[in-house]
Structure 1
Amino acid sequence: MQTLGPLRPRFTELLKLPWLTKPFNLRAFSSTPPADYSNQSRGGLPRFFSETLPSSKGGVIRVQGDEFWHMTKVLRLKTDDRIELFNGKGGLVEGCIQNIDRTAIDFVALEEPKLVLPQSPQWHVFAAFGSLKGGRADWLVEKCTELGATSVTPLLTERSSAIADNRVERLQRVILAAAKQCQRLHEMKLNHPMKIDNLVPVVAKSKLSFIAIAEATPLVGALTSTRTESSGLIIVGPEGDFTVKEVNMIIEAGSTAVGLGPHRLRVETATIAILATLMLWSDSQQITNP
Structure 2
Amino acid sequence: MISKINFLFYCPDIQITNCLDTVDSQHCVKVLRNTTGDKIHVTDGNGGWYLCQITDANPKKCQLVILEEEQNYQKPCRKISLAICPTKSADRIEYLIEKAVEIGLHEVFFVSTQNTYPKRVNMERMTKIAVSAMKQSLKAYLPILHDYSKLDVFLKNTKGYNQKFLAHLDHKSQPLTAMKIADSPLIFVGPEGDFSESEIELINQNGFETVTLGSSRLRTETAGVVSVSLLNLLP
TM-score by length of 2: 0.89
- Tell me if structure 2 keeps the 8 A contact 1:47–1:183: yes
Which consecutive unaligned segments of at least 5 residues does structure 2 have?
none
In structure 1, the residue matched to 2:183 is 230
- Tell me if structure 1 keeps the 8 A contact 2:176–2:212: no
Summarize deviations over 1:111-138 as a string: whole Å, max 9, x none: 3x33217433111110001x43151111
Find the residue that maps to 1:249 and give its secondary structure.
helix
Larger Rg: 1
- Tell me if structure 2 keeps the 8 A contact 1:149–1:275: yes
The residue type equivalent to 2:224 in the other structure is: T
**Distance of aligned partners of 1:171 and 1:254 in 2 relative to their CA distance in 1, 3 Å threshold:** same
In structure 2, the residue matched to 1:126 is 83
- Tell me if structure 2 keeps the 8 A contact 1:136–1:268: yes
The residue type equivalent to 2:5 in the other structure is: G
**Distance of aligned partners of 1:152 and 1:158 in 2 relative to their CA distance in 1, 3 Å threshold:** same
| Distance (whole Å) between structure 1 residues aligned to residue 109 and residue 22 of structure 2 | 27
The residue type equivalent to 2:41 in the other structure is: E
Answer yes or no: is 1:53 the counterpart of 2:14.
yes
Which consecutive unaligned segments of at least 5 residues does structure 1 have?
1-30, 34-42, 286-290
- Tell me if structure 2 keeps the 8 A contact 1:218–1:261: no
The residue type equivalent to 2:164 in the other structure is: S
Summarize deviations over 1:95-153 as a string: whole Å, max 9, x none: 22122235222212223x33217433111110001x43151111111111111110011
In structure 2, the residue matched to 1:39 is none
**Distance of aligned partners of 1:90 and 1:261 in 2 relative to their CA distance in 1, 3 Å threshold:** closer
| Distance (whole Å) between structure 2 residues aligned to residue 187 and residue 102 of structure 1 | 24
| Distance (whole Å) between structure 2 residues aligned to residue 108 and residue 222 of structure 1 | 46
| Distance (whole Å) between structure 1 residues aligned to residue 138 and residue 157 of structure 2 | 30
**Distance of aligned partners of 1:216 and 1:267 in 2 relative to their CA distance in 1, 3 Å threshold:** farther
- Tell me if structure 1 keeps the 8 A contact 2:26–2:59: no
In structure 1, the residue matched to 2:167 is 212
| Distance (whole Å) between structure 1 residues aligned to residue 37 and residue 171 of structure 2 | 57
Find the residue that maps to 1:125 and give its secondary structure.
strand
- Tell me if structure 2 keeps the 8 A contact 1:96–1:110: yes
What pairs up with 1:2-81 in 2 under 5 angstroms?
Answer: 32-33=2-3, 44=5, 46-54=7-15, 61-81=18-38
Shift of 1:222: 4.5
Shift of 1:241: 0.5
Answer yes or no: is 1:265 the counterpart of 2:221.
no
In structure 2, the residue matched to 1:98 is 55
TM-score by length of 1: 0.73
| Distance (whole Å) between structure 1 residues aligned to residue 189 and residue 117 of structure 2 | 14
In structure 1, the residue matched to 2:92 is 136
- Tell me if structure 1 keeps the 8 A contact 2:106–2:144: yes
The residue type equivalent to 2:191 in the other structure is: P
Identify the structure with bigger relative contact order (alpha carbons < 8 Å, sequence gap 6+).
2
Q: Calculate the aligned-residue CA RMSD, in Å.
A: 2.3
